[in-house]
Structure formats: structure tokens, C-alpha cells
Chains A and B, each alone.
Chain A
């Protein structure tokens, strides 16, 4: 509705004030990972951009929005910084966006502060990022945001003793620390915390150790891709028969479930985006994804992150014109913005420039021969708990 109003207003303005709104090109530089082993993030960025442009066109108030993609090739801070420099100095972009990985986002913080470059994070999820520059805004999620609600739910539902098992890198630590803190505060007991090296191929021995502790559940955070698939499989073959439940965050997304297979059944998850979200926008996004890219293609966390990032940028251009003053942009972004995402209503925390959204607690089930995440509780309007802790 808001967008329609904005659009109408803009249309009227153009009719009434011809000549004032000279058509210009607004450049948006998107730094992502479009090649190499992590290219699936870039794939999601690209697909979301195409679907968004199909829904909203490439023109806002007569101004063409040009999206310039740049490939960081992986978690590569130096490269990300260099690409950001190039986009700002040579391409003269009005907005910077993207960032699949935390280190890449962190690496441009100083630069965007110096250049006063409004920057939208589509994916990177370590809590601290938006504190590193006043020009960051995040539309994806934070790891504490999805880890805390499940830690509140667990002790109330028979899960009293937990072993945490996380991949040994920053997002894993973020997730682990939040879970432990919230779980203990709610009366839970942590028996052991295991950090698994990123290079691990066989998870059996770590999980045997978990088995020995006899917890009610294992809280798990993997790095995505093959290791996460292997971890869930190992849980299913060794811990599930012993009655140890699996509690995770984003590990069982619709995009990964076919790869994990039936091993994922009964895994408990906590995410800002599940496939059965019943908003009209989500249905439309889903339908267009399969129509445009094939039957296996489903939206995921980075797809909606990108989609909403572009919504934000289009709104900004509609409101402030093609050449806005950066500080006006930041004022607009911190004015208590709320809008309709495919995942439902979302808002930007005016103080922290981070996203506020519902978190879905769900369980993997087999329905009509297909694996899906079925929500059992939706915790509305979750702010990033890390920022509440670290004021």
C-alpha cells in the first residue's frame, strides 16, 4: 500500500511538475560472491535482482536504476575493499549493497564512512557489522536474532540439557554464545561446547562425544554446504536413535532439504524465513522463481535479503530522488521504516540500523512425500539480542 501511494504521489508529481524530475541513472554497486565454491550466494543475489526487476521494473520516477555486480570470489576482505573503492570512485555509485560474508562487509566499513556511502547488507549476519559504520543498514538477519528465540523455547519444551556443536569461525561463535547465554538464563544446562574445525570431513567422532554426554538435544551451527549436510546426516545416524534432538538455526532451509534428505526429519530449526510463509508476496516470489529459473529453484534467506534491499533502495530513490544527500538517506533509513517483505512485515531499528523481524521456530516434516519446515511458533518483532546486550 505504502509503495502504491509513493508511486502514485510520484506519478502526480511528474505530471504536475514536468521538467523538474530530469531522468537520471542511479547506480547501485552490488558486491557479492558470484564464482567459486560459495557461488550459491551470488546466484541467490542475481535471481532475486531479476525477480525484483520483473516485479518493479528498472525505473523509479523516470530514473533508471542500474545494478552493477562485482565478484569478491569468496570471503576476501582485501578484494571486497578494492571493489568498493572502484565502485565508489570510478563507477560513482549512489548506493553500495550486497555482502554475503561478514569479513567482506567489515572490510568496507571505514571506506563507506569516509565516502559517506549508504550501504545495504543483503546477507552477512554477524551482529556487530552495523556498529562498524553509521552508513550500514541490514535487511537480512543476525545470528543472535535467530539463535535466541529457540534457546528460549527449548527449556520450556523438555530440552533441559544441551551440548553445543558449532563450526569454529566467527558466525559459529556468535551463534554459540547467544544460544548458551539465553538457554542458561531460561534454566537450561550446557553440558559441553564443542567447536569443530572448518576443514572437518568426518563428524562421527565429535558426535560420539556428544552421545556420551547423553543430552536432551544438540545445538548445531554448520558453515553451510557439504559440511552442514554431513553433520545432519551424522546426527540422524548416531544421535537421533538415542533420542537426542537436533536444534539448529538456518541449517534446514528449503534449498538444502533435498540434499540432506530424510535424515533431516524432526530437526528443529529457527529462521527468519521458512517456505510455508503465507504472504502474497512470498507466493508470488516463489512462483516467479520456479517460472524463471526452473522447478528446483526456491527462494532462500539471501534471496529475500536481496529482494528487500532493493525494495529499500527503490523506496529511497522514490522519496529522495536520484541524487540524494547521503545523510538524508541515512535519516530516511533511520526514520522507523517498515515495509512488507516476502517473509511478512519487517522494520529497521532506527537506533541500530538493523532489521527487526519475526523468527520462525519450526520442525522438518515429511508431508506428501516432500520434506518441509513446519512452523510451530512465530516469535514476532525480534530485535538483534546482541545489541541489547552490548549497548
Chain B
């Protein structure tokens, strides 16, 4: 029972990290119909920046906030220079361009920091174990779960409760109709893109304990992020959350129970889920 709880917690923590990073990707791929394979690059850039700042003496949370902001700004610049001309090009052009951008990220970070793993130091009050009563558990993972939940609630509230959210949902479900009623869809997308990149940067920072930072981060974990978006349903926030948590828990439990086939288990699950619901678990109305 104790072990089951620990596995569940590990799965949740892993799922939260996947969610935080992927929620930005669901924006770009689902809402803006841009195949953004460079998404991992923004997460990685955020992580590296925070690691540098923490080493220079900036406190953890300040560094995380600044790195999030910086990833957002980087995203904004990329949106205006690289992505905007791509919106009306075909998917192949987008794949090639954003894949190329990923290589630019990798080369830039290799040049600046070398190919070694960059360790992002976590503050001492989060680093140790915490006593759960039946056994000890790494504090940082509980922190990840809490942060992931809070972030989900925040995103949920903004999407479901605010005017911005209402416009965004409208633009996703039917961009032409949204334009017709006077919503500035382009501007909405730019803002959303920036927020998505900022969230990726944030995920890169706080998830660095699980998804280790090195220049190939952008490629290594890309498949995971894409899987979350595809399984959740393109453009669906709730879907991303459910998918990330499901995949996190199932993969973690699978590794524990069926060590030998753990590598296939995740992809088998994805295969089955997508056969069952080709448009994802909770697709937005426009695709459903």
C-alpha cells in the first residue's frame, strides 16, 4: 500500500511536469495549427537560464520567474520573426523550419555551455525528504505536484472564466467566425504563443530534476510532449492535463510492475488511446 502510494505520487509528479511543458505546445499546435517542433527548445532555454542565475546567487523562485519571463520574450521574438511567415505555409514547411530552429537551440547551447548536463540546484528546503508517516518521500516531488495542480487551476480559471479565455476558445473552435465577430485572432495568438513559451520555460525550470538539462533536451523529450498533446486532443487544456497525468501514472506504474516491457508500455497505451479516440481524449469542439 505504501509502495502503491509512492508510485502514484511519482506518476503524478511526472505527469505534472509533462503537463506544464506541454500545455504551451497544445496552444501552438492546437490553436494556431502550427506544428511547433521547437517547443522543447523554449523549455530548455528557460531551464538553462534559471540554472545560470541560481549559480550566480539568484534565489530559486526569482530565477524561475525571470526564466519564465525570458522564455516568453524569446517566444515573442520567435513568433514575430520565424513563426508568423509560417502560418499560411503548409505543414511540411512548418516541420522543416521549426525542426531547424530546434537545431539552432541545440547548437547555441552547446556553443555556450558545452554538451554536459547542466544541474539546476534546487533550494535546500525543497531538496530533502519529507516524512509522510509511513515512509519518507522527496519533498521536491510533492512540490511539483502542488505547483502542477495550482497551475492547472489557474489555466482552467483563465480559459473558462475570463474574457480572454472566452475569446481564445472561440478562436480555437471557429477562427473565421471569431474574426467575423471582431476578435483580433492574430493578436490573440501572439499573446497565447508567448504565454505558451513562458509556461514551457517554467516547466523546463521546475522539471529539470526529472527531465535533465543538456543541449539535446529539445529533441530527447519532444516525443513525450507531442504524445501528451496528441492524446489530450489538439488545443484542449483539460485534455492535456488528463493525458499528462494518465501517461505519467501509467508509465510509472508500468516501470514498477512490468520492468521488462516498460519501454513499450507507454507507446502501447498511446496506440490504444488513439485508436479509441483518434482526436484525443477531450478534443475541442472544432475537431470533435
Contacts and interface: CB of A to CB of B under 8 A. Distances in A.
A195 B258 CA distance: 11
Contact of A241 (B3, B129, B253): B129
B253 A197 contact: no
Contacts of A38: 115
Nearest to B107: A35
B215 interface: yes
B119 A229 contact: yes
B94 interface: no
A168 B3 CA distance: 25
A256 B209 CA distance: 17
Contacts of A43: 114-115
Contact of B7 (A196, A205, A226): A205
B216 A37 contact: yes
Interface in A233-290: 233, 237-238, 241, 259, 261
B262 interface: yes
Chain A, interface residues (CB within 8 Å), range: 20 to 34
Given A40-B115, A208-B256, A241 B136 contact: yes
A186 B6 CA distance: 35
Contacts, number: 83
B10 A208 contact: yes
Interface string B212-241: 111110000100100000000000000000
Interface string A191-204: 00011110111101
A195 B129 contact: no
Given A37-B215, A201-B210, A201-B221, A208 B3 contact: yes
Contact of B255 (A206, A227, A241, A259): A206
B3 A202 contact: no
Given A37-B215, A195-B260, A201-B211, A259 B7 contact: no
A124 interface: no
B81 interface: no
Given A197-B262, A229-B212, A230-B212, A205 B256 contact: yes
Given A39-B115, A202-B14, A225 B214 contact: yes
A2 B138 CA distance: 56
B62 interface: no
Interface in B248-275: 251-256, 259-260, 262-263
B256 A237 contact: no
Contacts of A331: none
B215 to A, nearest CB: 7
Given A199-B263, A208-B3, A241-B136, A229 B117 contact: yes
A209 interface: yes
Contact of A259 (B10, B119, B251): B119
B220 to A, nearest CB: 8
16 contacts: A36-B115, A37-B214, A40-B116, A202-B251, A208-B256, A209-B259, A212-B3, A225-B117, A226-B117, A226-B214, A229-B119, A233-B209, A237-B138, A259-B116, A261-B119, A261-B121
Interface of B: 3, 6-7, 10, 14, 110, 114-117, 119, 121, 129, 136, 138, 209-216, 221, 224, 251-256, 259-260, 262-263
